[in-house]
Chains A and B, each alone.
Chain A
Amino acid sequence: MSPADASPGRTTSRGFLAALGQHAGDLALPGALEVAFARSAHAHALMGSLDLEGSAAAAGIVAIYRARDLPADLALLKEEEPRLAGFPAARRPALAESVVKYVGEPFAVIVGRSRPESLRVAEGLSFLPEAQPVMLSLEDLTPSSPGPSDAQTRSPLRWTRGAGDLDAAWSRAQRVLRVPLRLERVSPAPLELLAIVARYSRREGKLHVWLGSQAPERAQAQLCAALGLRSGDLELHPREVGGSFGSRRSLCPEELVVAWLALRHAPLPIRYVASRRELMISAPQARGLCGEAVVAVTGQGKLLGLQLRASLDLGAYPERDGCAAVSRLLASLPGAYGFEAWRAELTGVLTNKPPAGFYRGSGLEEATYVIERALETVAIQLELDPIELRRVNLAAPGPASGMPSQGDGKSALAGALEALATRTQYGRLRTAQEDMRKGTLRMGVGIALAVDAPPPETSIAGWSRRWEAARVSITPDCEAEVRVGAVSCGRGLEAALSRIAAEELRLPLDSVRTRLGERGAAPVGSGATASQSMARVGGAVAQAAQRLRWRLRALASDLLRAPPEYVLESLGGFTAGERSITREELCRHAYRAGGHAEGCPPGLDEIAYVEVERAPVAWTAHLAVVTVDRETGQIAVPRYTALTDCGRAIFPDGVDAQVLGGIAQGIGRALRERLVHDREGRPQVTSLSAYDLLGAANLPEVDMVRIESRAIETGLGARSVGEVCAAAALPAVVNGVLDALRTRAALELQPPLGAEAVWKAASTREPT
């Protein structure tokens, strides 16, 4: 047992359990002005006259600003900004200028002495609207219709990717199956609401900003660029992020405005805390997709060709995160399977809804859904076993496909499918399913594989080559301190990093302290993106700790007057022959004058920089047992099994929590969660209750199996598991329902699988 194993648990949780978490909204600076945003009630309208005089005179109101009062550069998207290939130039001002493009878009900001006073004015503010045509429905834009040429960008957004000869594949096909696809927009729905506090210190000549961010480095850069500040003029204080799921990766317009207000109203602090309703209607949303896949197969179920045509709902502005999701969707096709030819044609649609943004698994979840649903359709229509169908069609592992192999060169996914069948006693499940086929309660088994192996040429945010840094030091009283620029979103990253350092340094876990968001100490780091903190930052921590350990050994070798190769390390310290020295003595010594080893600086402090070329491949294999009550359309998930390759599991509890969280996300997507807008583009889901967010009580018991094949891409060997599990759970549950019903109508069902739709599909007699 290594010392680190002695004390498991998430040290981060302690503060949260004791209500000591420090979120931006908790920060009460004296004299703070409270900000509220006036938001559009119209989905698309030209802004007519806006009378502010009465409102500005209201009690407690300090100032009201609209777009024209703000600097022109205060924009989230700028025309000249570099963008992903294939995406249009666009501009998005922090406040709507002359046109509003979605309900909830901020068009004015109210600065007041108290939040209620500002809110009251914000809610009463409106402009004279000149209504414009509203674009909401992706159905209007299915591939058969002419491509959209959106007036907002004046250029159609189209992307294609593929490989192989589709015509040849089609000519050999014995069956060609159509797979209807529709994914509703969803919200990352973090429990913590958006909050930001900013204050300009005249004494320091510096703007201080407190906010919750997954990527403080990026937030700092975005703020400096928008405000025209040098990076030294702005100090960002990352506060705790109570769950983020991608929603705190990029700044929102409100945050830019608050930072600007702090300069304008210096030295008064400015504070903004959003309401749940504001977040539900205006924060970035994800996933809207509508289209169709067509699969060409032989009579025996050999996959020949796949053609995907789909429209993606990018919302009112083609923001970078939403566009990155499109890139990742393309990069994640055709998943784990060896189609002889495939082609994806995607059309981006600018709609009058909030911009599309990140949500855990963006792009990967859509791609996995497309592929796994197509496989289920083939299995049902050709009456083939879904595990066998997958096994025989897996792409050969290797660099060409990017698919993982086991040590013997065999596909790791084939091994996973076998293990899944054994673990769940798959044969018995099928017998039980047959036994229930005559009754009201039907059983189904849903399978899904998710593989995150973006091709090397992708430049997708979060997956591309980048630096990470970590600083590890040991104090004179032999306590280690880890400092990284990365931040946690409530995933227990501190605990995991402490564990890595403790293991490398042979120190007990409780004498290691980890501080996140320390960009001064560890000046690079891209934050929590793509669920890869562990895989990337962990490697830097390990390297810095290893160097410190080497220095301790060198110092011991000096003091014990023995060559390093004769110095032995023990739990308490170092020995050479008869002589020994404790780790505590060594640490004290290192800080004395002249106490450092030959060629080393004084003290015990190391910064390590790690460059990770590309993210390690991650994959998971899921099996969901679902029951469907044919009379009521009610779905239950009584059993769920997930086999996940997490690489080296540094913090097993943390790995399991990520797996379970991903599965919860997928089940929620499959059965309940969706954002709905009415015909005028007004959001109908404005609370978590209406959104029907899945709670802990709604989760099945999940049998989580960790497969630990060390990743070679990172020094640490860890892989990311947060995204693949979310991506696999959605199709696993949906496929289970299709498998339970096996009617033609069921093959048309789209998530979330509401009771009424399922009841209707179950009531039809027509078999597939």
Chain B
Amino acid sequence: MIPSDFEYHAPASFQELLDLLSRHGEAATLLAGGQTLVPDLVSGRSSPDVVLDLRRVQLLPRVEAGDGELEGGLVIGPLVTYTELIGSALARQRVPLLVEAALSVGDPATRNAGTLVGAVCGAHPASDVLAALCALDAVAEIASTRGARRADVESLILGPREVDLRPDEVVRCLRLPPSGSGGAAHLKLGRSAQGYGLVGVAVQVALEDGRAQRLAIGITGYSRRPFRAVEAEDILWGRSLDAVSVAEASRAVVDAALPRSDAEGSGEFRSHLVDVALRRALHRAAGA
């Protein structure tokens, strides 16, 4: 049940979309897969005056190989669903970490409808793919009638449901640089029947002579927003992944942000889980 009326537009071109956004600004909300907006409308958390549907916009990027400075990387358009990403051979080859994270999202129905760009803009603190996007240095390409800009996904997300986007802006695509060689693992712990976990850890690591190189760690669910665990990466860089180094790295993750505490799990439990998840994810990524 959607109690409030709203105006609905389904523009056919990207320029038309930008014009509508610029005209309606704060009053407008974007609709892509609807996995955030529709529940929000039903619960009354969101009551926009205008809904702009992206699904008829022509010539938006899908899952595409990057070129130029993004050679070897990947571009993900705003309507790309988890299912589309999982089905893309290119994505499986270039960003296996992100594909693994996408596979852990909700249930098939959610994966069929939900989009990756929607996950970024929805900024749910436990969204699965955000840990992987942070670890993969994903950058959002943002457009408005005022021009285009780029921002990395980690800095774009300010907190739960809070993103650093102006009312007239739209994310046109996500840009993922080449992720390099090495193993990858995404692990989520404390999963509910509906799909969100208490914590999620995405790890990418290459070992040389048993020492960690090109390490990337993304964390979701643990704190108010997903983040890249740079302190933990620094601790592990050039070291073997043994009990001592991993424990140090875990402590750095726990110290990097305040854990969330709610009915699903206390901060103490989340801190403990992030430790277990990091250890297990590192071992799996290193073993791969």
Contacts and interface: CB of A to CB of B under 8 A. Distances in A.
B193 to A, nearest CB: 5
6 contacts: A123-B3, A632-B189, A632-B273, A689-B194, A754-B265, A755-B265
Contact of A695 (B193, B269, B273): B193
Interface of B: 1, 3-5, 39, 42-43, 107-108, 189-194, 198, 263, 265-266, 269, 272-273, 276
A273 interface: yes
B1 A692 contact: no
A174 interface: no
A676 B5 contact: no
Contacts of B273: 632
A693 interface: yes
A116 B193 contact: no
B124 to A, nearest CB: 12
B190 A755 contact: yes
Contact of B192 (A116, A276, A631, A692): A692
Given A695-B193, A759-B272, 18 more contacts: A116-B4, A119-B1, A123-B3, A632-B189, A632-B276, A634-B189, A672-B192, A672-B193, A689-B194, A692-B192, A693-B194, A694-B193, A695-B194, A697-B107, A755-B265, A756-B266, A756-B269, A759-B269
The 8 closest A-B pairs by CB, nearest first: A756-B269, A116-B3, A689-B194, A692-B193, A119-B3, A755-B190, A631-B276, A692-B192
Interface residues of A, number: 30
Given A116-B3, A116-B4, A277-B43, A755 B198 contact: yes
Contact of A692 (B39, B189, B194, B272): B194
Interface string A659-699: 00000000010001000100000001001110011110110
Chain B contact surface mostly = loop
B75 to A, nearest CB: 31
A695 B190 contact: no
Interface string A742-764: 00000000000011100100000
A115 interface: yes
A231 interface: no
Nearest to A689: B194
Contacts, number: 55
A676 B193 contact: no
Contacts of B272: 759
Interface of A: 115-116, 119-120, 123, 273, 275-277, 631-634, 668, 672, 676, 684, 687-689, 692-695, 697-698, 754-756, 759
A536 to B, nearest CB: 34
B276 A698 contact: no
Contacts of B263: 676, 684
A678 B194 CA distance: 22
A695 B4 contact: no
Contacts of B190: 632-634, 755
Nearest to B265: A756
A645 B220 CA distance: 48
Contacts of B276: 631-632
Nearest to B268: A756
Nearest to A688: B194
A633 B4 CA distance: 42
A632 B280 CA distance: 11
Nearest to A631: B276
Contacts of A688: 194
A641 B191 CA distance: 25
Nearest to A673: B193
B257 to A, nearest CB: 19
Contacts of B108: 697
A754 B272 CA distance: 15
A495 B268 CA distance: 53
A560 B136 CA distance: 86
- Which of B3, B43, B107, B193 gathers the greatest number of chain A CB atoms within 10 Å? B193
Contacts of A668: 193
A693 B263 CA distance: 16
B200 to A, nearest CB: 13
A688 B195 CA distance: 12
Contacts of A689: 39, 194
Contacts of A275: 1, 42
B43 A687 contact: yes
Contacts of A754: 265
B252 to A, nearest CB: 20
A694 B191 CA distance: 12
B151 to A, nearest CB: 30
B114 to A, nearest CB: 14
A273 B192 contact: no
A59 to B, nearest CB: 12
B198 A116 contact: no
A365 B4 CA distance: 42
Given A672-B193, A692-B192, A695-B193, A116 B5 contact: yes
A631 B266 CA distance: 15
Contacts of A695: 107, 193-194
Contacts of B266: 756
Q: In this complex, which of B39, B43, B108, B191 has the most chain A Cβ atoms within 10 angstroms of its Cβ?
A: B43
A689 B192 CA distance: 9
Contacts of A123: 3
A115 B1 CA distance: 9
A721 B205 CA distance: 53
Find the residue from A692, A697, A756, A759 having the highest chain B CB count within 10 A: A756
Nearest to B108: A697
A698 B194 CA distance: 9
B193 A698 contact: yes
A693 B3 contact: no
Contacts of A276: 42
Nearest to B189: A632
Contacts of B5: 116
Contacts of B191: 634
